[in-house]
Amino acid sequence: MSIPHIGDVLPNFEAPATGDKAVKLSDYRGKFVVLYFYPKDSTPGCTLEGQDFRDNIERFSALNAVILGVSRDSLKSHENFKCKQEFPFDLLSDTDESLCQLFDVIKMKNMYGKQVRGIERSTFLIDPHGALVREWRKVSVKGHCEQVLSALTELSGH
């Protein structure tokens, strides 16, 4: 499948998640899904981003939205990160990069002067019918959670 565009209904992807689950997109029919991709568990920016979503979970829930974080880290790493940060949402492990490829978030990045393949911090908002309605690429953590909440508020008519 080609990279999804705004308005496209997404395939019913499935990925292993924290809590010993396999999460499918169809599990969340009838709800908005905030799918955020981040580079690595327990790094400063990724921790801050997760904490912003955590600290606003009630606002997301009030707008009929669930949050799912995705990185290439193992489930063990995710469980530790989720527990330590008390995230009230699941983290999906994409070790085979299938979700990363679907959403085209693997990019060449400079790290300490070297070119490395990594996840470009990105967030996708999926509507209750499984269609992609908003996307944010090259996300800057500061203020991002508010941008997502603002889009959700607009889309849900609240």
Instruction: Give yes or no for residue 1 having a pLDDT over 60.
Output: no
Q: What share of the chain is helix, strand, coil (3-state, %, to 5)?
A: 30, 30, 35
Does 79 or 4 have the greater pLDDT score? 79
Asked if residue 149 lies in contact with residue 63, where contact means CB atoms within 8 angstroms, the answer is yes
pLDDT (tens digit per residue) in 34-47: 999 999 999 998 99
User: DSSP state, 27?
Assistant: G
How big is the CA angle at 55 (ends 74 and 23), to the nearest 5 degrees? Answer: 35
For the question of residue 46 being annotated catalytic, the response is yes
The CATH topology of domain 16-156 is Glutaredoxin (3.40.30)
Among residues 46, 83, 100, 145, which one is catalytic?
46
- Residue 52 neighbours by CB distance under 10 Å: 17
Global pTM reads: 0.94
Distances (CA, A) of 2 to 5, 103, 128, 144: 9, 9, 21, 26
